[in-house]
Structure 1
Amino acid sequence: MELASFEELVEQYSPMIQHMINKLSIYKNKGEFFQIGLISIWEATNTYQPEKGKYSSYLYRHMWGRFVDELKKQTKDQERHVHPEEEFWLMIESPSLYTEEEYAIRQLCKPLTDCQTKWVIYTIIHQMTIREIAEKENVSLSAVKGWKKGAVEKLRMVL
């Protein structure tokens, strides 16, 4: 049995695609599913074996399988990727980066170097010892003591 041209098959089986979209209650991405139906017609035309049955039956099962596979894929993608509604993003308040105390301390530390500022923050806010700061920053005790000495001198001049 010789099949008609692809254009004729598309014209003949487009109602089947629409029927399947409705039967599977597909309401999103209808155009995408219609394209999958067209691809199914093309694939079925290339793989159809006349001795195994009617073309329309073969096409129906093939198209059904492709649609169900795509629905499963989209469901899995939706479960993996959560896209909150716009209202969600509007309701979220931006958390403040620092507490008021830490902000005030950081303002005092503006004339200090980064290392001296680390010493002030670790010592005053986090209540860490020189040894703990040295371990956290992976430096020697004498380096932290140097940060302390420089910070204390500069802070005395500022205050």
Structure 2
Amino acid sequence: MNNYQSARQQYSFEDIYQQYTPLVHGMLKRLHIHSNHEDFLQAGYIGLWLAYQHHDSEKGPFPAYAFLRVRGEMLTMLQKDANYYDRHSFSSNDQEPAQVRIETESWMPDVDTLAPYLNKLSDREQRWVIAHAVHDQPPRMIAANYNVSVETVKGWRKGALAKLRKYVK
């Protein structure tokens, strides 16, 4: 057997808190945490509490277990923060995409504006131009509306763009 006793058998949590505060603060430096100190300190103290609650003296001494739990809670929080910032982009120009979208919609052509160009196209190519340019529909939606494949709609697009390029030049 071993000579270790459970931390709960020897000390109150207040004693453990006082004794292991340097460990929690030192872990901030060891993990190079430069922001959100209070949040990470809280995570460290939660790790210390969990170590205090779950320590099994048969598996080893409390100091090593406390070190692992404090470090583990802080690393978990670092990982969660990293995942959050990876998945949520923050920008000082958060309003810019909405403004661009509004400006784009304000100059969207109508059928009357496109009429001179539509005369040069086949019926199917005209369908694509109107659905795409006027109604801003993607190929899959146009295909569903006319009960054709997406590849067929892409063919309409290819033909329409080729003819329009010749006409515009």
TM-score > 0.5 by shorter chain: yes
In structure 2, relative to structure 1, the CA distance for the partners of 1:47 and 1:92 (3 Å cut) is: closer
RMSD over aligned Cα, in angstroms? 3.2
- Corresponding residue for residue 40 of structure 1: 47
In structure 2, relative to structure 1, the CA distance for the partners of 1:93 and 1:40 (3 Å cut) is: closer
In structure 2, relative to structure 1, the CA distance for the partners of 1:69 and 1:93 (3 Å cut) is: closer
User: 1:125 aligned to 2:132?
Assistant: no
Which structure would you say has the larger RCO, counting Cα contacts within 8 Å and 6 or more residues apart? Answer: 2
Tell me, what secondary structure is at the counterpart of 2:99?
Answer: coil
Whole-angstrom distance in 2 between the partners of 1:93 and 1:51:
61
User: 1:54 aligned to 2:43?
Assistant: no
- Corresponding residue for residue 107 of structure 2: 99
2:12 aligns with one of 5, 9, 21: 5
Tell me, what secondary structure is at the counterpart of 1:28?
Answer: coil
- Corresponding residue for residue 20 of structure 1: 27
- 1:43-73 alpha-carbon deviations (Å, 9 max, x no partner): 1111101122211111001211222222122
Tell me, what secondary structure is at the counterpart of 1:94?
Answer: helix
- 1:105-127 alpha-carbon deviations (Å, 9 max, x no partner): xxxxxxxxxxxxxxxx3243364
**5+ residue gaps, structure 2:** 132-141, 146-169
Deviation at 1:91, TM superposition (A): 7.5
In structure 2, relative to structure 1, the CA distance for the partners of 1:93 and 1:76 (3 Å cut) is: closer
The structure that has the greater radius of gyration is: 1
> Higher mean Cα deviation, 15-24 or 74-83?
74-83
Deviation at 1:94, TM superposition (A): 3.5
In structure 2, relative to structure 1, the CA distance for the partners of 1:93 and 1:57 (3 Å cut) is: closer
Matched residues, percent identical? 25
The aligned amino acid for 1:14 is T
Whole-angstrom distance in 1 between the partners of 2:40 and 2:98:
40
TM-score normalised according to structure 1 size: 0.59
The aligned amino acid for 1:64 is R
- 1:4-58 alpha-carbon deviations (Å, 9 max, x no partner): 1112211111110000011111011111111111111111111101122211111
The aligned amino acid for 1:94 is Q
Whole-angstrom distance in 1 between the partners of 2:58 and 2:71:
21
